Copies of this chain bind each other. A is one copy, B any other.
């Protein structure tokens, strides 16, 4: 058979709204084995509860293989829904189990956002959320944030001036990338705005279990009914199960189930049951979370010590209270240009521009301390300092 010309296939509008970015292409290069990358968003595999997962899986497949491997309910495994509901003071019918919390986010967007609708979010913001919002054809309203999270007074001003978002997206606990926690006052103010203007608050919460300093304020969902809370097992157990959830107002939860049915029928029966069995195992979760926190706190300390030693005075950052990242500034440096130099020196980070809702050069960067060894974290800091000595990095 002769080789045919590849078919020219017309794309719909949706995929044309999102694309691979220059930064993502550059970060793909950083996956070379000689690069100590602090760019990733991977949790520490040393903290995965492998034995608990292996034991749970073996028990499930021995005790009820048909149940663990068959099709199951679109809304999710009922005991897992009940477990999540119990952690959120919610009704099990409000819980929809999803294939990771990214899917939960995307389903909420499909339920609530038409092309052209406005979604407000902190700028900088989580790249995965921004991609899902762009895919939906949303118009993004970036709101600056500071050490207390999204500046709700600035959002209020935009609302007063006529902005009418369908959705306001926040990572209220240990934001990605900035690491900030939305203050109590701002939570009250945001909840009041939701009730007044009728938008839904999408509170994405992957990191709250990884807090080792400070006290979390009351959850947004206790302040208004107009909240969808997203959760995941990715940082508490491991990402490879892809088990997350949305806790939503009842009628919205029912819509998410209808959407989920059309989109992929259900989340994997096996991984849901594994997750539930591990999470609900008596005596497991609380000590496991304490170990996780200690692990990440020590990793963070190793990176911070190395950064202070190598870049003290030039690199500015607040000490993280939890999570996986240091969010920092290099005043006067275009960190997108620094990245290429850093990769040349054998390290990598995510430049702030990757998180920018409103594009433009920035002097910010995100450094992950989650996966590299303390020695590699120190070496990465040394390489980063070397990269900073390259010429032509200014704005």
Smallest Cβ-Cβ distance to A128: which chain B residue: B265
Instruction: Select which of B50, B65, B198, B249 is within 8 A of A45 by beta carbon.
Output: B65
Q: Is A311 an interface residue (CB 8 A)?
A: no
In the complex the two chains form, is B9's CB within 8 Å of A106's CB?
no
A72–B242 Cα distance when bound, in Å, is: 11
Q: Report the interface size for chain A: residues with CB under 8 A from the other chain.
A: 82
Q: Give chain B nearest CB distance to A260 CB in angstroms.
A: 10
Interface membership of chain A positions 229-260, coded 1 if the CB is closer than 8 angstroms to chain B and 0 otherwise? 00000100011111000000111100100110
Q: Is A159 an interface residue (CB 8 A)?
A: no
A57–B57 Cα distance when bound, in Å, is: 8
Instruction: Select which of B18, B43, B117, B271 is within 8 A of A12 by beta carbon.
Output: B117
Q: Give chain B nearest CB distance to A44 CB in angstroms.
A: 9
Q: Which residues of B contact A160 (CB under 8 A)?
A: none
A98–B255 Cα distance when bound, in Å, is: 23
Instruction: Select which of B98, B195, B240 is within 8 A of A270 by beta carbon.
Output: B240
Instruction: Select which of B10, B53, B134, B240 is within 8 A of A70 by beta carbon.
Output: B240
In the complex the two chains form, is A45's CB within 8 Å of B19's CB?
no
Q: Which residues of B contact A117 (CB under 8 A)?
A: 12
Q: Which residues of B contact A15 (CB under 8 A)?
A: 110-111, 255, 258-259
Q: Which residues of B contact A43 (CB under 8 A)?
A: 70
If A117-B12, A166-B10 touch, whether A263 touches B102 (CB-CB below 8 Å) is yes
Q: Is A146 an interface residue (CB 8 A)?
A: no
Which A residues from 10 to 64 make CB contacts under 8 A with B? 10-15, 18-20, 41-43, 45, 48, 50, 53-54, 57-58, 61-62
Q: Which residues of B contact A132 (CB under 8 A)?
A: 262-263
Q: Give chain B nearest CB distance to A95 CB in angstroms.
A: 16
Instruction: Select which of B45, B100, B200, B255 is within 8 A of A66 by beta carbon.
Output: B45
Q: Is A69 an interface residue (CB 8 A)?
A: yes
Q: Which residues of B contact A100 (CB under 8 A)?
A: 264-265
If A18-B258, A268-B242 touch, whether A251 touches B6 (CB-CB below 8 Å) is yes
Q: Give chain B nearest CB distance to A32 CB in angstroms.
A: 16
In the complex the two chains form, is B99's CB within 8 Å of A264's CB?
yes
Q: Which residues of B contact A87 (CB under 8 A)?
A: none
Q: Is A299 an interface residue (CB 8 A)?
A: no
Which A residues from 85 to 140 make CB contacts under 8 A with B? 98-100, 102-103, 106, 110-114, 117, 128, 131-132, 134-135
A102-B263, A135-B259 given; 4 more Cβ-contact pairs under 8 Å: A7-B200, A42-B70, A48-B70, A71-B239
